Homo-oligomer: A and B are copies of this chain.
Amino acid sequence: MKVKLGETALVYPIPIVLAGANVDGMPNYVNLGDCGIMGLNPALVFVSLNFGHHTTRGILENQTFSVNMPTTDMLAKTDYCGIVSGRDVDKGALFETFYGELGTAPLIAECPVSLECEVVRGFDIEQRQIFIGRVVQAYADEAFVTETKGGRKKIAPLTELRPIMYALDNTYYSVGEKIGTGYQEGRKLGKG
């Protein structure tokens, strides 16, 4: 039997990220779950923000933003960035910021992975401001990158990166065990 839960966006767990933007020339970060991948090739990501967010103003101003992956060690700071507004608190002071190729998208040095994004489309829908960004450059901490024999740079598995996930019952989770390989598990059922 199915139970109806009403108009609820139960797509989760969602990876928690710190989205960054310069606001009046100063870095600001916000804790977001409404962020995700829209395509791999080309590399497209989106963030969805309230109109009122301080970060929204910065993205509109510069047409650039960043997406930073915090680790479970950074949980308190990450959650804090979702509690207070950049209008009241200098959230840029919480982290070491660096800039990449675009010059206006602040990136967090403590995060193992950071993406520098250029807005390719922005629109509003039902009180949300959506920004779709092309990833201009992805940065990873060298501690998490190995080079394969073929010279390809390979990033560490999630069990080492230890990102934070969020569930819609307002709970943060860590990543569990590896349970399979893409485009392999299904072959047990038939032709690929």
Contact = CB atoms under 8 A, between A and B. Distances in A.
B7 A136 contact: yes
Contacts of A102: none
A173 to B, nearest CB: 5
A185 B76 contact: yes
A127 B81 CA distance: 34
Chief secondary structure at chain A's binding surface: strand
B5 A83 contact: no
A142 to B, nearest CB: 4
A60 interface: no
Most B CB atoms within 10 A — which of A72, A180, A190, A191? A180
Number of copies of this protein chain within its complex: 2
A13 B15 contact: yes
B176 A82 contact: no
Interface in A32-68: 33-40, 42-46, 48, 67
B45 A183 contact: no
A94 to B, nearest CB: 8
Given A8-B115, A11-B69, A33-B37, 8 more contacts: A2-B139, A4-B137, A8-B43, A9-B40, A34-B40, A39-B125, A172-B179, A174-B179
19 contacts: A5-B155, A6-B138, A8-B135, A8-B138, A9-B45, A11-B69, A33-B37, A34-B37, A38-B130, A76-B188, A79-B182, A82-B182, A84-B191, A121-B123, A126-B134, A157-B171, A170-B181, A173-B176, A176-B176
